[in-house]
Amino acid sequence: TALSRRVIFLAKAKRSAMAWSETSSTEDRVRLFRLIEKLAFESRDIVSNIHGAGSPETHKMAILRNADIESKKKLAKNLAGIKEE
């Protein structure tokens, strides 16, 4: 279900953020978690609106096919208010 996919996404994001936490401040971690929360719960069904049909895995593949992950990381830090070092 959509809810279980969001929970899995949040769990993976949290694990990633916790690994990152050794090199970041508490404030930056809080900012990151707030961004994850906003993205996970305030933008529901955005993938379906963009892609239109198919399985969730197809949606993910379509979006990530040409995604520049490093620029997305920089954008996420910027949106969360985390300064680049």
- pLDDT band of residue 7 (cuts 50, 70, 90) is low
Residues 7, 36: contact at Cβ < 8 Å?
A: no
pLDDT in tens, 25-76: 878 878 887 787 777 765 555 655 555 667 777 777 777 787 787 888 888 8
Domain boundaries, the chain: 2-80
Closest CA to 34 of 19, 22, 17, 46: 17
Predicted local confidence at residue 84, as pLDDT: 75
Cα 55 to Cα 4, 45, 50, 62, 80: the distances in Å are 15, 13, 13, 11, 30
pLDDT at site 2: 62
